[in-house]
Amino acid sequence: MATQLTWFGHNAWSIETGGATILVDPFLDDSPTSPVKAANVKADFILLSHGHGDHLGDTVAIAKRTGATVLTNFEVGQWLGKKGVSGGKIIGMNPGGGIDQPFGRVKFTVAHHSSSMPDGSYGGVPGGFLITLGDTRIYFACDTALFLDMKLIGAGGLDLAVLPIGDLYTMGPDDSIDAVKLLNPKRVAPCHYNTWPLIAQDAAAWAERVRSHTAAEPVVLQPGDKINV
């Protein structure tokens, strides 16, 4: 199945696959690096990893405008319902659980991080997403520390892993190299860096370390760039 990903900066992605558009963590209008605005993106599905504002972003507005189905954790799903997102369009998950959708399978994976909503409401536990599209498997670690169980996430083979490298709020470059070794993906793309000065990183230096210390091919994008998987 032909699948194309577009990076919108930070942890925001658009995935085009089998005629469906899937957004991941659509932080767009308030993002310093997003090349697109929320009013202009297509969405049939939205994968939302946790409640923090730099991931929740424009989810409510996009879901209301497009009628997209939102896959997120249970508590974030309940919060979205209170904000007017149609309850029938919310799929509340918890770590370890997966669900088949028309485009493929989505599993909500463990992430070591925190989660709260911008208004202070409880945001459940954060997660990442393991997406299976036919024979293609893509892992979005989302906001997380390094953890040894990444070995299990990669065990079935990964065509692409998307990892944060910004440090401070998530794993940084050093731990991301260990994450690549545990996940063993064919390719790895960095995200959650250079959005603000506090998470500035040298992606070219990171890519060189991936090449010399792991078996994966690094794919460094600029916001707006696309990858075919």
Q: Write the binding mask 54 to 83 for Mn ion: x where contact by CB under 5 A, - elsewhere.
A: x-----------------------------
- Residue 10 binds Ni ion, judged by CB under 5 A: no
Of 75, 143, 167, 175, which lies in the binding site for Ni ion, with binding defined by CB under 5 A? 143
Report the greatest alpha carbon distance in the chain. 49
Element (H, E) at 176: helix 173-183
Q: Name the minimum Å distance from CB 5 to Mn ion.
A: 19
Contact 158, 186 (CB under 8 A): yes
CA distance 80 to 13: 20
Closest to Mn ion by CB, 54 or 75: 54
Of 16, 75, 143, 167, which lies in the binding site for Mn ion, with binding defined by CB under 5 A? 143
- Who's near 227: CB < 8 A, 6+ residues apart? 4, 5, 7, 160, 187, 189, 219, 221
- Residue 75 binds Ni ion, judged by CB under 5 A: no
Q: For Ni ion, which stretch binds (CB under 5 A), given 38-46, 79-87, 143-151, 201-209?
A: 143-151
Question: In the complex, which residue's CB is closest to Ni ion?
Answer: 52
Is residue 164 classed exposed, middle or buried when 0-12, 13-18 and 19+ CB atoms within 10 A define those classes?
A: buried
CA distance 19 to 25: 20
Contact 204, 190 (CB under 8 A): no
Closest to Ni ion by CB, 143 or 175: 143
- Who's near 52: CB < 8 A, 6+ residues apart? 114, 115, 116, 123, 143
Q: Name the minimum Å distance from CB 58 to Mn ion.
A: 15
- Residue 25 binds Mn ion, judged by CB under 5 A: no
CA distance 25 to 216: 25
75 binds, among Ni ion, Mn ion, none (CB under 5 to 8 A by kind): none
Closest to Mn ion by CB, 17 or 194: 194
Q: For Ni ion, which stretch binds (CB under 5 A), given 19-27, 57-65, 140-148, 149-157?
A: 140-148
- Residue 52 binds Ni ion, judged by CB under 5 A: yes
Q: For Mn ion, which stretch binds (CB under 5 A), given 37-45, 47-55, 75-83, 176-184?
A: 47-55
| Contact positions vs Ni ion (CB under 5 A) | 52, 143
| Contact positions vs Mn ion (CB under 5 A) | 54, 143
